[in-house]
Chain A
Amino acid sequence: METTDFDAIVIGSGITGGWAAKELTEKGLKVLMVDRGQMIEHGKDYITEHQPPWADPLRGKPLRDVYQQDYPVQSRNYLFDETTRHYFNNDKDNPYANQDEFTWFRTDVVGGRSLLWGRQVYRWSDLDFSANLADGHGIDWPIRYQDIEPWYRKVEEFIGVSGQAEGLAHLPDSVFLPPMSMNVVEAHVKAQIEQHFDDRIMTIGRAAVLTQPHQGRGACHYCGPCQRGCSVGAYFSTQSSTLPAARATGNLTLLADTAVERIDYNSTLQRATGITTVNTQTLQRKRFSAKLIFVCASSVASAALLLNSRSEAFPTGLANRSGALGHYLMDHTYRTGATGVFTQFNDFIDRGNRPNGIYIPRFQNVGQQNREFVRGYNFQGAAMRIPLQAQALSTPGFGADYKHSLRTPGPWIMYLMGFGECLPRYENRIELLHNKTDRLGLPQIRFHFEWSDNEHKIRADIMREAQAMLETAGAVAINPFNRVGLGGEAIHEMGTARMGKDPTTSVLNKWNQTHDVPNVFVTDGACMTSSSSVNPSLTYMALTARAANYAAQQLKEGLL
């Protein structure tokens, strides 16, 4: 084989890119990892970490106009403010075509969304991997739980997952560090739910946040805003975990500010030969060659890159003989549930900013299909005292009595919010507008996404059950909510290059390898054949580690 610049190229440096780089470099491969975003070095570039509220980094500059003009999408994100804006995409510089019809939250930094993610990690089970086969929506997954179980274990042992073992078959336990604790109201609600509903339990959230030192990283100190970056590395990110491991091998080259325009394909070799990049600052184009390509740019960006990599052999996009590429876009239902007020625990307060909540595993359609919808949902939630500013502004009056009354927190409130499974549907897709390009000369993405009737039925059930559980637990002033938002708001978008057994209906095989081009692998959320209702990031990591080890082996055997 010809000499190449690198053994492997990893496109993207987020949760999956970092894992691909770590695994491939540890197998001895010379790896180039590229990211379109600017470099963020662990620790030193977390410029707002531990910044107190009275020391705003932008010194009080009013920014409403800036957000409206430059960040109309990203400013919808619950983490977006002046302490995190430097991690986010500038929507004006890097737009997509229909920003009012789908919410695509993107970062523009090395490390990607691993810096900002919610850190909730749960194993999927065969309830999830066999869901499509069972009810006929979508195609069957080419893998089952036993295929991925060792990789879950490997990932968990490295990243560190705090949580409580529960022994559930449909939400398998991870390798756990000690769990975080519930507060007085959560513990009460847990007991009530488990006493009155024999089909469900409540457990502390399983989080990629360390409750004790692990792998050279420090334990959580409960300061709160993880999204600013954590210099002790208490939560898993590329910077805290996989990047140092990959760098330690001496086999990694990392290029920031480097967008990928296309994956280059040689029809004689029937292999990808490398990538064409665009420097996001200089707009200079460059080519890098490699024997192996790992596409880890995020569900949407990875699919877009393949769609843009057109050639005579692949006129509709690389590895798209199936026509499935860009289709079957999924997210989870979000912001449906209920809040309730608990008045009987006013004597207790909590201290510490726990970066985690509670979790109620799926209980509908488990064991048997018995609801008017298919699939299911889980609940996440937390109890807290009413936040100070909310209490202050909803309390009438002013003066000394007013000031002193605010020293006593208002009652505890608890929210339960469901994450519902989304069915894979052909109509939900991205397309590239080749005649509408951005500043890099890359085609803009247009989203097509509608919720289906099944998701609406799931939402109605989420609301009903959240209300029922809070009522049973003794809450008052229960307020059910169901805000049907745009796709993408749960930030669990996936499915645009799905895995499957049949090359005519899927893009990837059971090793996350494209059916059509054996040296191209896609291991981020694009690979997902169904969405489950369970948070997907841990599964992305496990699939990436599994695919990287397979690819390295295949390469070694000369099969790629």
Chain B
Amino acid sequence: MNYRFSDTLKNLPGSVLSRLISLADSLEDVVSLGVGEPDFDTPWPIRAESIYHLENGDTFYSPTRGFLELRQQIANYLNRRFGLSYDPETEVMCTVGGSQGIDLVFRCLINPGDEVLIPQPGYMAYEPCAVLSGAKVVPVLLKEENGFKLKAEELKKAITDKSKILVLNFPGNPTGGVMTKEDYLPLVDLIIKHDLLVVSDEIYGELSYNVPHYSIALIPEIRDRVILLSGFSKTFSMTGWRLGYLCAAKELIDNFAMVSGNMIICTPTITQYGGIVAMRDCDKEIPRMKASFLKRRDLILSGLEQIGLPCCKPEGAFYVFPNIKQFGLSSADFCAQLIQRERLVLCPGSAFGAAGEGYVRCSYSYSKPEIQEALKRLGRFVSWLRENK
């Protein structure tokens, strides 16, 4: 059967993950540091609220932008936690996780041939979403020696007269890199001069360890150029709930909401009730989770050091991104052999763009014994590689 798929699909980067998943699926006793989600249960008050509304039969469509009460709580939360100011009625809308936000923004803003600047190594969904909307993806290099921060000189190299959107993701997946106000300021002139819109994915905003998270939307000169994208997944351990949000100037949100209404009608009503409680009542859960991640980050960093894998110290998110260039293997081959020899699953850096080649992503969103076991297996594998080089 010839299904005559869209030509655009041919331009999508292939998934390196599916091959590794099938490899691991065929084995027993597999240990994974491959998952990009917190390992905590969603805090009980959030679950209880949604259960209550489910039992109550509150299962109808809800407003396309999300309940106003939820949008108010999101605006309050962003103000309370990060000092951001958004009008909940006109500048905030809910999405189906952060992922729909990414898709929505590109759909609404891209014309064929427009260029989207995507820092790499970077979260793997940006590129396919941009390509599907007809954009040309232009990578912007995040260098290990710069702590995987975005530097103005790298941005300058990537900008052309077709550049339209700059994607940012700090704290970032997969590097754990963070940006401070001082790091952002050198980018501001470039953003204004080249009339760029900024999509700032701040889904890991609460997981910045040594410096308070700073949103680029706080810089007044570019506030209305910034589309803040975030969600509940990482902060409140709500990945499976699929609840995110966009904050931006009214005109942008009006158009995003118009398109979203046609795509999904609304975000799941039941999850929104839980979301209200998360934003309103659950700040106290955040330091507990953050402290737990920080402990595990230090555990895995010290393990990697003992193994002899160089690794830039990540200041945010829950990933480490060690450098494996010394072995002369592609990251996909490294990960495939690691699964076959030691039944340990890591994510190859190449999944995060060409600039991720030579690295692997290890999530430390796992229990201490799981991390210790993974480090043991990784250490054995690295010794074997060194002996058999």
Same complex: no
Residues of A within 8 A of B (CB): none
